[in-house]
Structure 1
Amino acid sequence: MTRPPDMKPAVLPSPLQSLVAAGNLQSSAAHLPSLQSLALQVQHNLQYQHAWSDLRLHTTSPLTNEPLPRPLLSGLPPHRLYVHPDEQIELLKTADRERKARNKQGDTLDVKTEAEHEWILPTRLSEKWTLHRLADVFDALSMVPPAADSAATDDRPANPWRTTKRLVLATAGSDSTVVYYIVHDGVVKPRQN
């Protein structure tokens, strides 16, 4: 069967449009649809542009089961995003010992870190964020996102160097560009160069 010449070709929805449409079907009444769509836009960007896995949308606090101030995401990046300065020193010492044990002085240091699950806070560039608003978000979060296979929250991170809450602030511009920043709850020891 041929298509008549005056009939427009069928337009299929893009993967992002499909994700937003599916997200609106399971939307939470506690959050505005625009915040849900923003979270799904950031989720799509992380999954398809940055190779994150295990991405999940959260609308309630894992600590209190109360609605979050806004929808948040959690996920696993392809590599570790943040290494604590003291952990960095220990990793370098361990890698140096292993290199010496192999008896290869010219060999490069092989520093091994495992990726960690992270919280992601989707925002728009036009929003005004204050320390009070960020504190409200951090108050509702556990140290690490809950495991996908467990409803119970184990607030102890697998990494003993992770001592403060942190999240990835995902800021979406009007042109759909997303920029990511790591934000810690409180004061964090600066890195050494």
Structure 2
Amino acid sequence: MSTTLSHLEALAQTVLYNLENQHDWTELRTHRIPGLSRPLISGLPPRRLYVHPDEQIEIIMAEKNREERIPQPPEFEWVLPTHLAEKWSIKAFAEVFDAVEPIPPSDNPQESSDLEDEDAQWKQWRGSKRGKRILLSTVQDDSTVTYYLMHDGIVKPRQN
């Protein structure tokens, strides 16, 4: 094996560095997933990236009933490093979604089991119950990284 990084591995390292040093992500890991030709990244953002619109409504109602705020801890996320010049198809994105689980593997098994224990209505969109999503990271030639949240399938739009 060569000591130099392949193009895709270098791309993943650029994104990993950006997440860690510019966006304060923790517990970052690079994954080689069977069936995929490129590495994926998983990690924990400093705050939650996505709240399902129906969950948002349930949380508001639950907070009103409880008269206290419901915590919104961050969740582990998949990150797909890409380059702006790459050509992607729906089939290629579908292959990535088919290869991953909803939640990336974590070194902290307690993290995901905390959500499974309680049966509050608003928790049905968290943990292993959540839909698959990937944070698409697009690196430009000047090393600028842009992020887009992608879901597997059709997802109800968020309410602002």
Pairs within 5 Å for 1:28-177: 33-60=6-33, 66-99=34-67, 110=69, 112-148=71-107, 160-162=124-126, 163-177=130-144
Deviation at 1:191, TM superposition (A): 1.8
Structure 2 segments unaligned to the other structure (5+ residues): 117-122
Task: Answer 1 or 2: higher relative contact order, Cα 8 Å, separation at least 6.
Answer: 2
> 1:92 offset after TM fit, Å?
1.3
Q: Distance in 1 between the 2:14 and 2:108 partners?
A: 24
Cα distance in structure 2, aligned partners of 1:175 and 1:96: 47
- Match for residue 188 of structure 1 among 150, 155, 158: 155
Unaligned runs of 5+ in 1: 1-23, 61-65, 102-109
Mapped to 2, the partners of 1:47 and 1:161 lie a distance apart of 26
Q: Which has the higher helix share?
A: 2
How large is the RMSD of aligned CA atoms in angstroms? 2.3
TM-score between the two structures when normalised by the length of structure 1? 0.69
* Cα distance per residue 1:8-55 (max 9 Å; x no partner): xxxxxxxxxxxxxxxx85x8xxxx711001001100000000000000
Cα distance in structure 2, aligned partners of 1:46 and 1:192: 27
For 1:40, what is the secondary structure of its paired residue?
A: helix
User: SS in structure 2 opposite 1:87?
Assistant: helix
Counterpart in the other structure of 1:21: none
Whole-angstrom CA distance in 1 between matches of 2:63 and 2:146 = 32
For 1:187 and 1:180, the matched residues in 2 are separated by 19
CA contact (8 A) 1:69 1:136 kept: no
Partner Cα separation in structure 2 for residue 97 and residue 46 of structure 1: 37
Q: Deviations over 1:103-134 (max 9, x none)?
A: xxxxxxx4531100000000001111110110
Q: What is the distance in 1 between the residues matched to 2:132 and 2:79?
A: 12
Question: Which residue identity is paired with 2:15?
Answer: V
What is the letter of the counterpart of residue 43 of structure 2?
G
Instruction: Find the structure with the greater CA-based Rg.
Output: 1
Q: Report the secondary structure of 1:80's partner residue.
A: coil
What is the letter of the counterpart of residue 124 of structure 2?
P
| Structure 1 residue 192 displacement after superposition | 2.6
Question: How high is the sequence identity, in percent, across the aligned residues?
Answer: 49
Equivalent-residue separation in structure 1 for 2:21 and 2:70 (angstroms): 27
Q: Does the Cα contact within 8 Å between 1:171 and 1:178 map onto a contact in 2?
A: yes
Aligned residue identity for 2:156: K
